[in-house]
């Protein structure tokens, strides 16, 4: 027995790690049309959010108002 | 002004239970508190509504793009809010008012009240598909209602109370709530705090006996506290994480086509109480096969529009699943209607094979098709497949130096090339063909009566939808009706077209594979070859296969295969084993429709994700997945039970037939198989 959506909001049987793995195999073998793959940057961001998103958002919910200054700096640094 | 904020529902409910003891009235904020949305941005739900209005306008001969309609809606809503702000503190708008104005502008003299009702119904249906009740809160709310507390739901939104009640009704929550209050009715909102005194006065509530639960620190927290209401605020980091993910999948899908399918499935995923523990087969049905079938059917609808097809025939037995999936998705995906009729047609290769001989006789190609499966050996197998009486045909065979047991297949012992030559000569014998036609005439007549009743001859263009793979059923079907002057143009649409035997396409008879067609080089799609039978078993109807059509005094009768022999019982066991998988597929249909309507992507957009699903699940499956999805029994009546000579084309063990140990511990097994697969496809 398992759940369709995992606790980290990843899909059971179609985890982001599996997407990354198939993409990696695609670097070695021709797999067919994956339209350029998911993109390394996006895989990293999505993987990070799936696996570490909860503690990050917990911290932000509790102390987010105290790191407002950091957000402002981040906003300025964005292109 | 202080008010407590909680970072999990459990802690909020624990505190709420303590506080609620001294309260008579408990009110809940609706959106993001009692109900959560699957999508991160509620405005995205408006887009399918704009597309719906655009389609309705097109039906009336008005050309207006959905993007323009959306802009116009936003502008009108904005103006309504500004108008409200002249007389009220809150800048609220009311959906029926601005939507009516929008529709009047678009439809001019063609506008009527029913149009507004239609659009409202669709918008609420779309909203409803995107809303999920928060299970823990709902349970607490029910507990409170049972202890006699007065329950209110308060929302700052453009939908009036009557519409919110419908949403709550669809979520199964309306039975416990005394009143649903919306800012759209009075223009007194929680945001300014004006709603609270108005509600207290209208429903004779003392603020000291009132507890409010919400998510907005200002509207639900500060303003309520200022009015003297006890308040609890939820800020759930899990919800933040979920929305952050959905938001990114949604936005990344615009840049990365592969992620479009993933975004679709992320939106389809069940949440809260929907996401219960289920069997692994159910998960495979929901996450793997369901979306594939949904995309397949979406493309069929597009092709029906292109080819002006007015009726779709879903062929038994796999068409059973396709039709059910279709029925569950059309209302959400195609709200304007304008869809072809649909029918589940009872057919099978065995039933149609005989019927196909009534006018053209037994053709060489068809006879060779019957000899293709390795279990078929001689004329008896041909007679079994084409429902022929071998004894009555024996004199014709003898005249050509053959018997019913003469080996006609090179895969079997005793085969000689001259037997095939004699057999070819037999097929050219007019007396033999006349006897074949005489024997199959009855089943063809019965079949035509059934097809006439099913409306097959009442349409100029029909779609014939089946799982695949060679198109034999459509081949026999078309050959059985080709002599009729009212024979429709048959557009065959297969889930996968393998085309191991060349299909005789013509002006009135075409076939194409939607998810995979061997006519196109599609490496990822061709991984269907790995385990195509699992698709058959997953979609197969839980009734026996059709053996034939029989003429009766009333017209015709469908003759099904017996279900009480060893094969029938094995099939029933397989049905029971795959029942959770089929349930998973069916349960995914409505969620697929809602997510696909929201994202509005086409088949080409989904294709990279389809390829990924095929690759990951068929070519690179986990050992556990193979163990789960591999079928237990697979009935193939076409296949005889004769044993071919040892070593004739054998030795290859498919990946899906490998032992669990090999699948689990051999690290390069899948790579090796895939390299072999590439080689085979290139050599094809």
Confidence band of A68 (pLDDT split at 50, 70, 90): confident
- For residues B178 and B152, is the Cβ–Cβ distance under 8 A? yes
The residue assigned the tokens 């193979």 is B626
B10 touches chain A (CB under 8 A): no
What element of type H or E holds B35? strand B35-37
pLDDT of residue B557: 96
Asked, for residue B17, whether it belongs to a domain, the answer is yes
CA B86, distance to chain mean position in Å, is 49
For A71-76, what is the mean pLDDT? 86
B258, B671, B675: residue with CB nearest A34 = B258
Q: Do A31 and B615 touch (CB under 8 A)?
A: yes
Residues B641-655 as b/e (b if ≥16 CB within 10 A, e otherwise) read: ebebeeeeeeeeeeb
pLDDT at A29 over 80: yes
For residue B199, the domain's CATH number is 3.40.50.1000
Number of domains in chain B: 3
Instruction: Give the whole-angstrom CA distance, residue B455 versus residue B315.
Output: 14
Q: Is the same domain home to B16 and B47?
A: no
Q: Is the same domain home to B217 and B124?
A: no
Instruction: Give the whole-angstrom CA distance, residue B250 versus residue A53.
Output: 17
pLDDT > 90: what percent of chain B? 89
Q: Do A60 and B678 touch (CB under 8 A)?
A: no
Q: What backbone phi and psi angles, to 5 degrees, belong to B350?
A: -65, -40
Tens of pLDDT, residue by residue over B144-159, are: 999 999 999 999 999 9
pLDDT of residue B647: 63
Mutation for B interface: A14, A52, A60, A64, most B CBs within 10 A = A14
**Domain locations along chain A:** 16-77
Q: Is the peptide bond before B248 cis (omega within 30 degrees of 0)?
A: no
- For residues B380 and B466, is the Cβ–Cβ distance under 8 A? no
Q: Give the count of beta carbons closer than 10 Å to the beta carbon of residue B518.
A: 19
A14, A36, A49: residue with CB nearest B244 = A49
CA-to-CA dists, residue A70 to A49, A66, B248, B537, angstroms? 19, 9, 21, 56
CA-to-CA dists, residue A21 to B148, B288, B670, angstroms? 55, 17, 13
Q: What is the DSSP letter of B461?
A: E
Tens of pLDDT, residue by residue over B595-630, are: 999 999 999 999 999 999 999 999 999 999 999 998
Task: Please say which residue of B235, B266, B291 terminates a domain.
Answer: B235
Q: Contacts of residue A4 in chain B, CB cutoff 8 Å?
A: 269-270, 275, 278, 282-283, 286-287
Instruction: Give the whole-angstrom CA distance, residue B540 versus residue A1.
Output: 24
Q: Is the same domain home to B16 and B61?
A: no
pLDDT of residue B337: 87
The residue assigned the tokens 């009135």 is B508
Task: Please say which residue of B128, B147, B171 terminates a domain.
Answer: B128
Instruction: Give the whole-angstrom CA distance, residue B588 versus residue B567.
Output: 31
pLDDT of residue B605: 95
Q: Is the same domain home to B29 and B110?
A: no
Closest Cα to residue B313, out of B304, B442, B539, B485?
B304
For B575-604, what is the mean pLDDT? 96
Question: Whole domain around residue B187: which residue ranges?
Answer: 5-34+134-235
Tens of pLDDT, residue by residue over B441-459, are: 999 999 999 999 999 999 9
Q: Is the same domain home to B187 and B289?
A: no
Q: Is the same domain home to B486 and B612?
A: yes
B528 touches chain A (CB under 8 A): no
Tens of pLDDT, residue by residue over B263-322, are: 999 999 999 999 999 999 999 999 999 999 999 999 999 999 999 999 999 999 999 999
Q: Is the same domain home to B169 and B114?
A: no
Instruction: Give the whole-angstrom CA distance, residue A69 versus residue B403.
Output: 93
pLDDT of residue B28: 96
Q: Contacts of residue B266 in chain A, CB cutoff 8 Å?
A: 9, 11
Q: Contacts of residue A9 in chain B, CB cutoff 8 Å?
A: 241-242, 245, 266, 269
Q: How many CB pairs under 8 A join A and B?
A: 146
pLDDT > 70: what percent of chain B? 99
Q: Is the same domain home to B454 and B572?
A: yes
Instruction: Give the whole-angstrom CA distance, residue B131 versus residue B134.
Output: 10
- For residues B188 and B170, is the Cβ–Cβ distance under 8 A? no
Asked, for residue B78, whether it belongs to a domain, the answer is yes
Instruction: Give the whole-angstrom CA distance, residue B152 versus residue B27.
Output: 4
Task: Give the three-state DSSP class for B343.
Answer: strand
Q: How far is B214 from chain A (nearest CA, A)?
A: 15
Q: Is the same domain home to B592 and B668?
A: yes
Q: Contacts of residue B261 in chain A, CB cutoff 8 Å?
A: none
Query: What's the token pair of residue B148?
Result: 């006699």
Tens of pLDDT, residue by residue over B469-498, are: 999 999 999 999 999 999 999 999 999 999
- For residues B463 and B509, is the Cβ–Cβ distance under 8 A? no
**Dihedral angle, C-alpha B479, B483, B484, B488, nearest 10 °:** 40
Tens of pLDDT, residue by residue over B218-259, are: 999 999 999 999 999 999 999 999 999 999 999 999 999 999
* Residues linked to residue B540 through DSSP beta bridges, in sequence order: none
Which strands make up the sheet holding B489-497, listed edge to edge?
Answer: B341-345, B311-315, B461-466, B489-497, B509-517
Tens of pLDDT, residue by residue over B351-376, are: 999 999 999 999 999 999 999 888 89
Task: Please say which residue of B112, B128, B144 terminates a domain.
Answer: B128
What size, in residues, is chain A?
79
Task: Give the three-state DSSP class for B388.
Answer: coil
Instruction: Give the whole-angstrom CA distance, residue B143 versus residue A60.
Output: 32
Confidence band of B432 (pLDDT split at 50, 70, 90): very high
Q: Is the same domain home to B675 and B593?
A: yes
Q: How far is B608 from chain A (nearest CA, A)?
A: 5
Task: Give the three-state DSSP class for B680.
Answer: helix
For B395-418, what is the mean pLDDT? 91
Tens of pLDDT, residue by residue over B93-134, are: 999 999 999 999 999 999 999 999 999 999 999 999 999 999
Q: What is the DSSP letter of B274?
A: G
pLDDT of residue B650: 56
What element of type H or E holds B166? helix B161-170
Q: Is the same domain home to B107 and B18?
A: no
The residue assigned the tokens 């939104």 is B157
Contacting B residues, span 241-300, partner chain A, CB-CB under 8 Å: 241-242, 244-245, 248-249, 252, 255-259, 262, 265-266, 269-271, 275-280, 282-284, 286-288
Q: Contacts of residue B245 in chain A, CB cutoff 8 Å?
A: 9, 46, 49-50, 53
Asked, for residue B265, whether it belongs to a domain, the answer is no
Tens of pLDDT, residue by residue over B628-653, are: 998 888 777 778 788 888 665 557 89
The residue assigned the tokens 């037997």 is B419
Q: Do B615 and A22 touch (CB under 8 A)?
A: yes
Asked, for residue B49, whether it belongs to a domain, the answer is yes
Q: What is the DSSP letter of B155?
A: E
Q: Contacts of residue B277 in chain A, CB cutoff 8 Å?
A: 1-3
Tens of pLDDT, residue by residue over B533-565, are: 899 999 999 999 999 999 999 899 999 998 888
What size, in residues, is chain B?
684
Instruction: Give the whole-angstrom CA distance, residue B197 versus residue B381.
Output: 85
pLDDT of residue B29: 97
For B28-39, what is the mean pLDDT? 96
pLDDT of residue B639: 81
């Amino acid at each position: 027995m398992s759940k369709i959506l995992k606790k980290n909001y990843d899909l059971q049987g179609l985890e982001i790690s599996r997407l990354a793995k198939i993409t990696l195999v695609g670097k070695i073998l021709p797999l067919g049309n994956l339209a350029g793959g998911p993109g390394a940057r996006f895989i990293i961001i999505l993987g990070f959010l799936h696996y570490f998103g909860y503690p990050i958002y917990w911290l932000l919910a509790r102390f987010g108002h105290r790191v407002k200054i950091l957000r402002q700096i981040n906003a300025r640094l964005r292109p | 002004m202080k008010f407590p904020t909680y970072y999990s529902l459990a802690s909020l409910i624990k505190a709420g239970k303590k506080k609620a003891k001294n309260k008579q009235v408990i009110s809940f904020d609706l959106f993001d508190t009692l109900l959560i949305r699957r999508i991160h941005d509620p405005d995205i739900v408006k887009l399918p509504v704009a597309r719906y209005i655009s389609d309705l306008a097109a039906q009336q001969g008005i050309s207006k793009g959905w993007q323009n309609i959306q802009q116009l809606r936003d502008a009108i809503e904005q103006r309504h809010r500004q108008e409200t702000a002249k007389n009220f503190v809150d800048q609220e708008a009311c959906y029926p008012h601005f939507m009516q104005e929008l529709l009047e502008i678009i439809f001019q003299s063609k506008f009527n009240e029913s149009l507004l009702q239609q659009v409202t119904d669709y918008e609420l249906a779309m909203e409803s598909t995107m809303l999920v009740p928060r299970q823990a809160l709902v349970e607490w709310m029910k507990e409170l209602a049972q202890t006699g507390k007065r329950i209110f739901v308060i929302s700052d939104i453009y939908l009036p109370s009557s519409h919110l009640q419908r949403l709550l009704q669809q979520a199964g929550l309306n039975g416990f709530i005394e009143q649903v209050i919306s800012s759209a009715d009075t223009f007194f909102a929680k945001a300014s705090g004006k709603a609270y005194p108005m509600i207290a006065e209208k429903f004779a509530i003392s603020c000291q006996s009132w507890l409010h639960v919400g998510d907005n620190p200002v509207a639900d927290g500060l303003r309520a506290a200022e009015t003297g209401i006890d308040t609890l605020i939820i800020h759930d980091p899990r919800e933040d994480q979920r929305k952050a993910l959905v938001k990114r999948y949604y936005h990344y899908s615009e840049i990365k086509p592969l992620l479009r399918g993933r975004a679709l499935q992320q939106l389809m995923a069940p949440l809260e109480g929907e996401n219960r523990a289920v069997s692994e087969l159910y998960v495979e049905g929901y996450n793997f096969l369901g979306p594939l079938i949904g995309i397949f059917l979406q493309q069929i609808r597009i092709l029906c529009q292109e080819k002006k097809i007015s009726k779709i025939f879903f062929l038994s037995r796999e068409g059973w699943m396709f039709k059910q999936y279709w029925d569950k998705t059309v209302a959400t995906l195609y709200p304007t209607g304008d869809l072809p009729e649909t029918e589940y047609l009872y057919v099978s290769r065995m039933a149609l094979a005989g019927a196909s001989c009534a006018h053209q006789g037994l053709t060489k190609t068809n006879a060779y098709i019957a000899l293709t499966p390795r279990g078929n050996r001689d004329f008896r197998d041909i007679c079994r497949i084409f429902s022929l009486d071998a004894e009555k045909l024996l004199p014709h065979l003898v005249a050509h130096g053959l018997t019913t047991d003469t080996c006609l297949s090179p895969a079997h012992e005793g085969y000689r090339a001259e037997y095939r030559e004699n057999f070819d000569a037999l097929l050219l014998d007019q007396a033999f063909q006349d006897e074949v036609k005489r024997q199959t005439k009855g089943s063809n007549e019965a079949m035509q009566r059934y097809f006439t009743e099913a409306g097959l001859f009442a349409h100029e263009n029909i779609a014939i939808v089946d799982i695949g793979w060679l198109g034999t059923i459509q081949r026999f079907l078309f050959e059985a009706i080709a002599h009729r002057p009212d024979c429709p143009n048959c557009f065959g649409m297969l889930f996968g077209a393998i085309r191991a035997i060349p299909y005789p396409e013509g002006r009135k008879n075409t076939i194409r594979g939607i998810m995979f067609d061997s006519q196109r080089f599609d490496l990822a799609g061709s991984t269907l070859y790995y385990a195509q039978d699992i698709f058959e078993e997953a979609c197969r109807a839980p009734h026996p296969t059709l053996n034939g059509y029989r003429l009766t005094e009333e017209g015709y009768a469908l003759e099904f295969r017996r279900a009480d022999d060893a094969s029938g019982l094995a099939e029933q066991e397989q049905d029971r084993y795959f029942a959770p998988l089929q349930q998973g597929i069916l349960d995914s249909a409505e969620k697929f429709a809602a997510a696909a309507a929201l994202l509005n992507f086409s088949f080409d957009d989904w294709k990279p994700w389809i390829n990924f699903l095929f690759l990951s699940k068929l070519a690179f499956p986990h050992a556990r997945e193979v163990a789960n999805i591999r079928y237990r029994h697979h009935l193939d009546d076409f296949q005889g039970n004769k044993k071919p000579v040892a070593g004739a084309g054998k030795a290859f063990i498919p990946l899906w037939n490998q032992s669990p140990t090999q699948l689990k511990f051999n690290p390069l097994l899948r790579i090796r198989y895939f390299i072999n697969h590439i080689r085979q496809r290139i050599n094809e």
